[in-house]
Amino acid sequence: MTPNRSLLPASAVVLALAAGARAAPLGPPVALTAAQNQQRMTDLLHINALRPPVAPANANFDEATVAPYTLPDPLTTDEGKKLATPEDWWTTRRAELQAKFDHQIYGVLPDTPDVTWGVVKTATATQGGMPVMVKTLTGRVNNATYPLVNVGIALTLVLPQKAKKPVPVVMVLDAAVPSGAAWEKEVLAQGWGYAIYDPTSVQPDDGAALTRGIVGLVNKGQPRAPDNWGVLRAWAWGASRTMDYFESDGSIESARVAIAGHGRFGAAALVAMAYDPRFAVGFIDSAGKSGGALMRRGFGEGIENLAAVDRYQRMAGNFLKYAGPLTANDLPADAHELIALAAPRPIFIGTGTVADDGWNDPKGTFLAEVAASPVYRFIGKKGLGADTFPPPGRTVDTGDLAFREAGDGKTAAANWPAFIAYAKRFLDKK
């Protein structure tokens, strides 16, 4: 017999309703294609049409035709006040900038479940003539709130066997596994370890997968709201969870962990540095307009490409507005302020040459570092040691920001040696 609610005290009604809500079965993740998910978001934002993405063959690669643009000042508050002291940066301005990236560009970090790390396998090997210990780990995300989505963070850790004390580690965001690549041997030769974290184990890079992965788990299989986090922010969250593990592993000197990535993974590495102060140094390579290159610069990749059906999932839903009724010039923040959020920590940014990596806008990346440098100097650091775009192969690394344009833009291989030389200043104890 169903109780007469009118005869129950109010508190009993609330408890009965809560019990009924708890008993309601959870449905499977909503199934939408990438295009359907994108259309749903444009409908939520009342966007009639998105500007079409620009094909590489039609993109602007001519410096003479880059339209003038104005960058927001990272040292002026939203109320128009110039910062007076470094304390103003830490107590006021930094939070303002993070809020802009949260709500309009990368998405808001929600309450997230705990992660429990476990060693799947341990093995010994030899790399570059050096005996190493290889750990394969998985970070299991607690899915008690929505058991229909499972997330396991994939991490491989390679450490020198003969180390007598905790060692620095270079963590690379990549979907690959250790392969004996030159950079791996070069890192080990310094007496450091390295780790490879697969961001796609946290969140697939696909608009159709936004109701799965960590984004789908937190949303209980439902589509995103406009300010919900996108793939890049989710990947950065996963990087922070790997740092949690490093802090628990006595063989790692967790205060000296570098983070590195190429392309979309480089963008996520920069986002991780902007939000997590535990990463000591960054190597960001060919990250393009979604992480490192000025979005306002009309060169190479356009903001329309970041909002295209194969990439929009990397950003917050609100970001689509800037490829619809608004433009890149309407963005509340740009790449120089993302770099500035990592201050005072050192960042080495690499690209390919303009001839073969123009899509990722090497000069726009350099100029973002130039524009971030006043923040570094304001809080007592050196910033970038140049303001003139250097020729290919010349490393600008005299400051706390560094830049190098080399290689073909398809891999970070040509920039790794320069990064390691730069990172030694910060990862090796004096």
**Per-residue model confidence as pLDDT tens digits over 229-287:** 999 999 999 999 999 999 999 999 999 999 999 999 999 999 999 999 999 999 999 99
Tell me the per-residue pLDDT of 109-132, one tens digit each, with 9 for 90 and over: 999 999 999 999 999 999 989 999
Q: What is the pLDDT of residue 24?
A: 63
Q: Quick one: tokens of 317?
A: 């839903």
Q: What is the largest CA-CA distance in the chain?
A: 82
Which pLDDT band, with edges at 50, 70 and 90, does 19 fall under? Answer: very low
Tell me whether strands 347-351 and 401-405 are parallel, antiparallel or unpaired: parallel
State pTM to two decimals. Answer: 0.94
pLDDT at 427 over 80: yes
Q: What is the pLDDT of residue 273?
A: 98
Angle between helical axes of 182-189 and 416-427 (0-180°, round to 10) = 20
Angle between helical axes of 264-275 and 231-248 (0-180°, round to 10) = 60
CATH number of 56-427: 3.40.50.1820
Q: Do the Cβ atoms of 228 and 110 come closer than 8 Å?
A: yes
Output the CA angle 64-68-70, nearest 5 degrees. 145
Q: Do the Cβ atoms of 169 and 402 come closer than 8 Å?
A: no
Q: Do the Cβ atoms of 260 and 19 come closer than 8 Å?
A: no
Instruction: Determine phi and psi for 389, rounding to 5 degrees.
Output: -60, 120
Q: Do the Cβ atoms of 109 and 234 come closer than 8 Å?
A: no
Alpha-carbon gap, residue 77 to 70, rounded angstroms? 16
* Domain regions of the chain by residue span: 56-427
Which pLDDT band, with edges at 50, 70 and 90, does 1 fall under? Answer: very low
Q: Quick one: tokens of 378?
A: 């304001």
Helices H, strands E: what count in the chain? 13, 10
Name the DSSP class of 106.
Answer: I
For CA atoms 319, 324, 329, 330, the dihedral sign is negative
Q: What share of the chain has pLDDT > 70, as a percent?
A: 94
